[in-house]
């Protein structure tokens, strides 16, 4: 798998990957999320491309001027448990580190035991914090 920045032609394949990995939610339009992310210098989407050109993995990463964040980490369900997820996280970490970001964070739904085990294996620690949020778009 080759890891490279998202290109315009990847859009449909990336959305299909997110849907296959059950990462899309009714309140987050993936198309809008992609457009917003790639329009900013502080954020990017990295994709994993298989030898046959298929998009088989993704991760969105970016920083807010303080911390780095990961979103939309996905590996094609037929290719999971082969090290691709670890490689995508390493690429996102490198992207953030190259921009001087000292710490990377992410949110996992508490019931998502598989992903907790994955980040445990990568050496990530759970921080006991409450995440507060409020919509700014009037929805």
Ligand X SMILES: CC(C)(COP(=O)(O)OP(=O)(O)OC[C@H]1O[C@@H](n2cnc3c(N)ncnc32)[C@H](O)[C@@H]1OP(=O)(O)O)[C@@H](O)C(=O)NCCC(=O)NCCS
Kindly list the residues in this chain that would bind ligand X in the complex (CB under 6 A).
Answer: 21, 23, 73-75, 80-86, 108, 112, 114-115, 117-118, 121
One-character DSSP codes across 103-134: -EEE---TT-HHHHHHHHHTT------PPP--
CB of 138 to ligand X, least distance (A): 27
> Would you say 8 or 133 has its CB closer to ligand X?
133
> Would you say 11 or 80 has its CB closer to ligand X?
80
> Would you say 51 or 138 has its CB closer to ligand X?
51
One-character DSSP codes across 11-26: HHHHHHHHHHTT--BT
Residue number of the CB closest to ligand X reads: 85
Q: Angle CA(69)–CA(73)–CA(133) in degrees, nearest 5?
A: 45
């Amino acid at each position: 798998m080759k890891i490279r920045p998202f290109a315009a032609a990847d859009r449909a394949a990336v959305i299909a990957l997110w849907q296959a990995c059950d990462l899309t939610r009714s309140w987050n339009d993936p198309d809008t999320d992609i457009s917003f992310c790639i329009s900013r210098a502080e954020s990017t989407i990295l994709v994993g491309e298989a030898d046959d050109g298929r998009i088989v993995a993704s991760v969105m990463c970016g920083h807010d001027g303080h911390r780095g964040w990961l979103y939309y980490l996905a590996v094609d369900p037929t290719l999971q448990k082969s090290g691709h997820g670890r490689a995508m996280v390493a690429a996102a970490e490198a992207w953030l580190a190259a921009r001087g970001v000292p710490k990377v964070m992410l949110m996992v739904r508490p019931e998502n035991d598989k992903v907790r085990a994955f980040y445990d294996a990568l050496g990530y620690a759970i921080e006991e914090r409450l995440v507060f949020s409020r919509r700014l778009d009037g929805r």
